[in-house]
Amino acid sequence: MRFILIIFAILWSSTLRSECRRSRSRFTNMQCESYNDSYAKFNKCKLNLLGRGRVGCDIYLQLLQVPIDNAWINWSIYRRYNGFRPFLYNVSTDLCKLLKHPNSVSFEGLVIGAIMTRSNLNHSCPYSHDIILDNLEFSDDFLKTLPLPQGVYKVQLRFATYKVWRVQVTVYFEREE
């Protein structure tokens, strides 16, 4: 009987330690900015509490001059040291080409793949409707091919059409080990 209790105690303590080691990542803040309100405006830009420790991202972007068939995106990621400093990526790509042929290994492919699961960005250009992102939750599955160390990060997405920057979405997230 004592042997069974010892085995149970060892197994129970090892499961507790493995649960404590699991990394946790979550959104902490979000900011949306439209550079030209006559082109596009944000009707909704907020974080929702979905459950204990779970945060979802909601965006409703109303496009006022449609259709859009020429779109570019600038991806930047920053890490907080003494203020936010550039970290790993600052890349500009053609959004229409990326949506048509997403590369699941690149940083852009990871972000677009995650966004496409919870939004109406599931087709390539042209876009003649509003952009809706509903309860996108940050999870460690996003980081399968891009492991990030523990810290506070900022991802800045700037969108341009016809070579003019139109909107910017900045998302802050925290990664704990």
Overall pTM surpassing 0.95 (yes/no): no
* The predicted structure's pLDDT at residue 12: 55
Domains of the chain by residue range = 24-176
What distance in Å separates the CA atoms of residue 115 and residue 112, rounded to the nearest whole number?
A: 5
Please give the CATH architecture assigned to the domain spanning 24-176: Distorted Sandwich (2.70)
The tens digit of pLDDT for each residue in 29-56 reads 999 999 988 888 999 999 888 887 788 8
Choice between 128 and 139, residue whose per-residue pLDDT is larger? 128
Q: Is the pLDDT of residue 18 over 70?
A: no
Residue 72: name the closest of 167, 160, 166, 164 by CA: 160
Asked if residue 131 lies in contact with residue 121, where contact means CB atoms within 8 angstroms, the answer is yes
17, two tokens: 């330690």
The tens digit of pLDDT for each residue in 64-95 reads 888 888 889 898 889 998 888 988 788 888 88
25, two tokens: 């990542």
